[in-house]
Amino acid sequence: MKLKIWGWDKKPRTMLRYIKPGDIFCFELKEETFALNLNRKVYGFGRIMTKMSLGHSAEIFDFFSTTPELKNDFELDCSRLMPPLILDSYSLFDRKIIGDWRIIGRQEDYLHSGDEDVYFLWGSKGLEKKTSLYGESSEATEEEVKKYPYEIALDDLFITKMIPDDVIEKIRML
């Protein structure tokens, strides 16, 4: 794994056109979102997977730290906290409207694979279509409409609220 980490302070803002698959990001969890009462900052991590029409698909790792740094490659080998989602990358990284999300490095040799069954829905009720992480669209069956989430670009508040309660308890113990 070719990993280049430049850290939290190097790039407080990343313009939308410079966000690439393989980018490693870090985000600060807000105390008020979870009432963590930690008296310290806690950070989550993830990786940009693909560019989508509404933003970038990403995976959020099941790894949290009291520092916005990755010390070893093994920290990226952790599991996903949730299924891939679509980030509102413009408001998170470029304009920095809500939350503090930063690109802190890049996995140079990143090749997205293994998520052939990840789709997002779009379209009117009864006429839904599905789009893969690779941008391929097709008609969605009734079963797929029940299975896949709608293609919505999520911001800091929505993403952090998706963190399961058992993970919040682990974060409190950091």
pLDDT digits (tens, 9 = 90+) for 4-55: 888 899 989 999 999 999 999 999 987 766 666 666 788 999 999 999 988 9
So where are the chain's domains? 3-114+153-172
Q: What angle do CA 126, 149, 57 make, to 5 degrees?
A: 130
Half-sphere exposure of 52 (CA within 13 A, CB side): 28
pTM of the shown model = 0.90
H-run or E-run covering 31:
helix 31-34
| Strand, coil or helix: 29 | strand
Query: How many residues in total does the chain contain?
Result: 174
Closest CA to 3 of 95, 99, 81, 77: 77
